[in-house]
Amino acid sequence: MDFTLDDTRVTLREVAADVFRDAPAAAWSTLVTADMDVLSAMVVLTEAGRAATPLPALALGVLPLAKHGIEVPEGARVTAALHEPSDPMTSRPRTRAAGGVINGVKIGVPDAVGAHRILVPVSTDEGAAVALVDPETPGVTLNPAPTSSGRPEFSLHLVDVPYEWTFDGLADLHLFALAGACATADGVLAEALELTRKHVATREQFGRPLATFQAVAQQIAEVYISSRTLHLATWSACWRLAEGLDAESDVDIAAHWLAEELLPAMRTCHHLHGGLGLDITYPLHRYYSLAKDLVRSIGGARHRLEALCTSN
């Protein structure tokens, strides 16, 4: 496996970094295309993580539809309702599609207001499927839900809601959602590590930079190991997705590492910053908040461990 980016994706990474720095509100229309391939999407999501600017709809909606040959209008946001109460990333939805309508409840749906369509996992007489729902359809109710980062998220209530059609793509939906979360987390942790590295290299205590103290060096080394492992696990999974290979185990491993290691690593970064890490005029809190949302968005550490054990 060669994870070296080609010239096109290197340019995309540089453009994405500029856009997220200078005009983050224009990121979607500038960077996202309906036919974006997996690795290009993951490059964009990683840079979004570095800027602490989540783009969940990219992995949740655009990639699954593109894989199944379903066209998305240029510039349209498509999100997904992956979770049900007490059942994150459910593979056996209690939400039911029958008689041409859907009934059920979903939680943790990002960017639902203003979305072109919502991908809704449902159960049918033939098994689990994914339905395409217009959020403006009568019978759809969206209730705002709190998040750590402040990004828009909603609970979705469906009462006799007609849907356009269904397709057999729930497994792909979960894989892209997990890979997208891992790519974003890769950027989040890499940038938090860089902020911390610069801080301990320049902040002095007892007349010496913090980085020269053995305990500090050991802690930031642990964060570096967590960051590099997440990066390699994520790109291994994304490479297999892009190549059309069986990627379930690789994605589950990367997601498990995210769920287990991201927040402890972020807490270490906060600890090494001291009080500065809690200052809202300093950017570290944005990365920590997004990290908490990312861990929750994939079901948490225990859920990911159970999924990893089941898939292997």
- Per-residue pLDDT tens over the stretch 82-96: 999 999 999 999 999
CA 99 to chain centre: 33
How far, in Å, are 63, 160, 217, 235 from residue 99 at the CA level? 29, 9, 62, 42
Neighbours of 69 (CB within 10 A): 7
Instruction: Tell whether the model's pLDDT for residue 258 goes beyond 90.
Output: yes
Mean pLDDT of the 227-253 span: 95
Residues 13-49, buried b or exposed e (16+ Cβ, 10 A)?
beebbebbeeeeeebbeebbeeebebbbbbbbbbbbb
Q: At what angle do helices 301-311 and 248-273 cross, to 10 degrees?
A: 150
Strand duo 117-124 + 78-80: pairing: parallel
3-state secondary structure at position 146: coil
Q: Give pLDDT, residue 100.
A: 93
Give the tens place of pLDDT for each residue, 174-218: 999 999 999 999 999 999 999 999 999 998 788 899 888 999 999
Read off the amino acid at residue 141: T
Q: Give pLDDT, residue 312.
A: 61
pTM value?
Answer: 0.94
Instruction: Tell whether the model's pLDDT for residue 57 goes beyond 90.
Output: no
- What's the half-sphere exposure (Cβ side, CA atoms, 13 Å) at 223? 25
Task: Give the list of residues 6+ apart from residue 10 with CB closer than 8 angstroms, or none.
Answer: none
Question: Tokens for 97?
Answer: 């599609």
Q: Which of 241, 147, 235, 239 is nearest to 190 (CA)?
A: 235
Task: Give the list of residues 6+ apart from residue 36 with CB closer than 8 angstroms, or none.
Answer: 44, 58, 62, 63, 66
Instruction: Tell whether the model's pLDDT for residue 296 goes beyond 80.
Output: yes
Tell me which residue has tokens 């997705």. 241
58 versus 78: which is more confidently predicted?
A: 78
Read off the amino acid at residue 235: W
The mean pLDDT value of the chain amounts to: 92
Give the tens place of pLDDT for each residue, 280-290: 899 999 999 99
| Residue 162 phi, psi (nearest 5) | -70, 150
Give the tens place of pLDDT for each residue, 3-39: 788 899 999 999 999 999 999 888 888 888 777 899 9
Summarize the chain as % helix, strand, coil (round to 5).
55, 20, 30
Instruction: Tell whether the model's pLDDT for residue 229 goes beyond 80.
Output: yes
Give the tens place of pLDDT for each residue, 107-164: 999 999 989 999 999 999 999 999 999 999 999 999 999 999 999 999 999 999 999 8
Q: Which of 69, 56, 34, 4 is nearest to 239 (CA)?
A: 4
Mean pLDDT of the 250-273 span: 96
Q: Give pLDDT, residue 1.
A: 61
Task: Give the list of residues 6+ apart from residue 29 with CB closer than 8 angstroms, or none.
Answer: 75
Mean pLDDT of the 263-267 span: 97
Q: Which of 181, 222, 216 is nearest to 80 (CA)?
A: 181
Given a contact cutoff of 8 angstroms between Cβ atoms, the answer to whether 152 and 111 are in contact is yes
Question: Tokens for 26?
Answer: 């224009």
| pLDDT band of 2, cuts 50, 70, 90 | low
Question: Tokens for 287?
Answer: 């990365």
Q: At what angle do helices 214-242 and 38-50 cross, to 10 degrees?
A: 150
How far, in Å, are 116, 229, 231, 239, 287 from residue 257 at the CA level? 32, 8, 10, 17, 17
